[in-house]
A and B are shown apart, each in its own frame.
Chain A
């Protein structure tokens, strides 16, 4: 991981250099696999999709807040790395969307849900994380989770179910 961190710091300082493509890919792969390992761990105990979504969202928020340089690299700086960075990011979003779309298994009529629902949910999370990294006074991701979960769950299970995410826990 230390190699990846060294490259991320270098990248943040001097931007993307074509000759560093292998280092970019290595750092990206290292971070992406670490992220998916964490998601698998926190979702392992979840018995239903919504539980898994909440756990994954909380873990993502923790990683965003505690590991800002790595988050910046994956979400913001990669977009400055041309087609390579964009393609990596698109693949990551696609992979996340595939996981999210598991919600269909819990629906009576999954065919009624638009095909782009999961990419849409990922896009909303991505936007919030992007702005957390780029806007100085953006609220922390934890405080935005109820809204994001409401939107994600509403997209699959309807607004009535989604609104429960906005209720205070007690």
Chain B
């Protein structure tokens, strides 16, 4: 859903624009830069000295929304940095607001708790990774090995481009405890479905139905340990091997090695 200019987008549930919602930057830029007629202050807003008072930002529904959107972004960025540096269990809401440089009360306008904030960050990262890999596969075209190569290449690039985010979600995710499990299951399931749709008949028909989940689960923990090592270029060096491992069950070792280069 794309929010419209001039419309209050709080939605039926009363929630603000979601973090992972596509926001048309151009529309906002046009809105922010547009020439507006000078504000005419009603007599009640004029001070005793006759000086005009500032209009309150919250007075305009879209202004408030833009501010809220940016606040939420800052909180999530702050949470990412704090959790990546100190670990989920060591981080308190106070650390997140300090890292985001916002007042504590704003945190609670967006999130009910630290866990709620972390889940928003996790969902956003998972959605972005899935969308990027999916798009890479779609634009790559070609045969199944080419799709897998394109998907894994983009996944590694995504991780490399924001190590703090990867660390916060991949390494600290399991530290959250039971509550993360449905999200973890969804993440593995979504990527497994993508792999399944890409192979579409390629590979032995006698393969178990869950083979994609097992392959993707293995990839996840291999990336987990690679991130834990914190060695630069470790992920890039792992890329061809991940391609090979993902393909072997479906196309055989020789074709998998060929695709991995």
Q: How far is the CA of A25 from the CA of B210 in the complex (A)?
A: 35
Q: How far is the CA of A166 from the CA of B219 in the complex (A)?
A: 22
Q: How far is the CA of A151 from the CA of B23 in the complex (A)?
A: 42
Q: How far is the CA of A159 from the CA of B251 in the complex (A)?
A: 8
Given contacts A112-B257, A158-B252, A166-B208, contact A93 B214 (CB under 8 A): no
> Of B47-55, B102-110, B122-130, B171-179, which binds chain A?
B171-179
A interface, by DSSP: helix, strand, loop or mixed?
Answer: helix
Q: How far is the CA of A126 from the CA of B211 in the complex (A)?
A: 15
Contact B217 A163, beta carbon cutoff 8 Å: no
Contact B214 A82, beta carbon cutoff 8 Å: no
B interface, by DSSP: helix, strand, loop or mixed?
Answer: helix
Contact A123 B228, beta carbon cutoff 8 Å: no
Expressed in whole angstroms, the minimum distance between the Cβ of B53 and any Cβ of chain A is 51
Interface flag for A8 (CB, 8 Å): no
Among B171, B184, B214, B241, contact of A147 (Cβ-Cβ < 8 Å): B214
Contact B220 A86, beta carbon cutoff 8 Å: no
Contact B222 A134, beta carbon cutoff 8 Å: no
Among B185, B240, B245, contact of A120 (Cβ-Cβ < 8 Å): B245
Interface flag for A80 (CB, 8 Å): yes
Interface set, chain A 21-59, CB cutoff 8 A to B: none
Contact A150 B245, beta carbon cutoff 8 Å: no
Interface flag for B33 (CB, 8 Å): no
Interface flag for B206 (CB, 8 Å): yes
Q: How far is the CA of A128 from the CA of B240 in the complex (A)?
A: 24
Interface flag for A1 (CB, 8 Å): no
Contact B178 A134, beta carbon cutoff 8 Å: yes
Interface flag for B87 (CB, 8 Å): yes
Q: How far is the CA of A150 from the CA of B175 in the complex (A)?
A: 31
Contact A148 B214, beta carbon cutoff 8 Å: yes
Interface flag for B161 (CB, 8 Å): no
Contact B206 A166, beta carbon cutoff 8 Å: yes
Residues of A within 8 A of B214 (CB): 124, 127-128, 144, 147-148, 151
**What are 20 inter-chain pairs, A to B, with CB distance below 8 A?**
A79-B174, A80-B175, A82-B87, A114-B240, A116-B222, A119-B222, A120-B218, A120-B245, A123-B217, A123-B218, A123-B221, A124-B217, A131-B217, A135-B181, A144-B210, A147-B208, A147-B210, A147-B214, A150-B249, A155-B245
